[in-house]
Amino acid sequence: MKITIIKNYLIPYNIGGAEINVQNIIDDFTQRKEIDILSVITMDRNPWPKKTVLSSRLCYYKFFPINLYFNYPLEKKRNIVFKILWRIIELWNPWTFIQAIRILKKERPDVVQLHNFYGLSISIVSAIQFLKIPMVFVPHDFYLTCKNSSHMKKHGTICTKQCLLCSMIAAFNRFVIRKPITTFFLSEYSATILRRHQPQLRGAVMHNPCMISRAVIQDNVEFRKVDDVTSDSTVKFLFAGRLERAKGILTVLSAIDNLKEKNVRFSIAGAGASKRIVEEFCAKSETTKYLGFISGDMKHQCFLSHDIFIFASEWFEVSPLTICEANAYGMPVLASNVGSVPEHIVQKKNGFLFDAGDSKDLSEKIAGLARNKKEVLSMRKHCFDAAISNSPSAFFDKMVRVLEETARE
């Protein structure tokens, strides 16, 4: 089976969980005997498609969908006139349509797996359907129904209903797509929202898997057995993610500022638009330190050295990877009650929920956990079990079956 994967941003334009998830899919697919050739189409700054062959089974095509600017980093401020013109071109980008047809004609895949295409534009779907290539859509955001992909306004407030502009964009997208599309939804929540506005999306639901290996999880279990015996009454909280308002970092800082408990310590890791605010806060705080961006062994050690993970996102998460990852290190997750997040949390088993954007509620939950560290330690086993049960092999096997079935249709 020949597969083409299409995703707007990939390394080095790494934004978050969606990029990690797609890279995991590519890594798994290249090891499978049932997949003969895998080609990947993604964005770069060069308007002319550049092909890079990594092996006899894997190649990449990268090009810039000609527009007024390359939309990375996403948080970069743009001139309002340029932004409006960029949006108009991006609504149905002819350059994307032309180049996608050229690449797909050359590769001749049996099936296309389409991920996020913000920046490429929905003309990528038109190209796939024009060539009558079977397609499986894996949405990691809400771009088909929201101009910001997140059902959140730019200043950070959540949209309670679809605005007129987004309604018009959703209607245009329905007009372009028309035909039913097999969809691999990553949460019940995203499936409900997307089907409501795009009824032509049909398919199954399966959460993102935990990519921490069983061997590493078992090592983490043994480490925690020893560490928990020698630990003191201090409860260590970790926030690791993009430092942006939509990810709840400002709510976290406000909650920390309101705390009176002395036996708490906080670490903040990541990078983003709110980095300077975090640095200034930590410079004045006696309980909070900023670690910068962490990865590799530093991230591993950081996750092992903390008791509770704070997941404070304020946008409608599709299927966050971080919750399961934190559970794999024995950390219960104090998570915001928004989007698909409640699907991943079993109260007082592998985590707790608080009201998204409510710093007072978050502060009260932190204080309650600080007064009862024994409850936190007793949840370790449930966390490890939750991570182990979310098997990557089952996730990828189901994804391949859906691709095979779609290719045969």
pLDDT by position in tens, the chain (length 409): 999 999 999 988 876 788 989 999 999 999 999 999 999 999 999 888 999 999 999 999 999 999 999 888 776 788 889 989 999 999 999 999 999 999 999 999 999 999 999 999 999 999 999 999 999 999 999 999 998 887 777 666 777 788 899 999 999 999 999 899 999 999 999 999 999 999 999 999 999 999 998 999 999 999 998 887 777 889 999 999 999 988 999 999 999 999 999 999 999 999 988 999 999 999 999 999 999 999 999 999 999 999 999 999 998 899 999 999 999 999 999 999 999 999 999 999 999 999 999 999 999 999 999 999 999 999 999 999 999 999 899 999 999 999 999 999 8
What is the DSSP track for 396-408? Answer: HHHHHHHHHHHHH
Q: Domain spans of the chain?
A: 2-209+391-408, 214-389
Which residue type does 377 have? L
Beta bridge partners of 41: 6, 61
Cα–Cα distance, 37 to 343 (Å, whole number)? 35
Give the global pTM: 0.90
The token pair at 308 is 């509770």
Residue with tokens 């990029």: 19
> What is the radius of gyration, based on Cα positions, of the chain?
22
Which residue type does 169 have? I
40 sits in which H/E element:
strand 37-43
Kindly report the number of other CB atoms within 10 A of residue 293's CB atom.
Answer: 13
3-state class (DSSP) for residue 239: strand
| Contact criterion met (CB below 8 Å) for 27 and 393 | no
Backbone φ, ψ for residue 250 (5° rounding): -70, -35
Query: Whose CA is closest to 334, among 256, 225, 234?
Result: 256
CATH code given to domain 214-389: 3.40.50.2000
Is 214-389 the same fold as 2-209+391-408? yes
Look up the CATH architecture of domain 2-209+391-408: 3-Layer(aba) Sandwich (3.40)
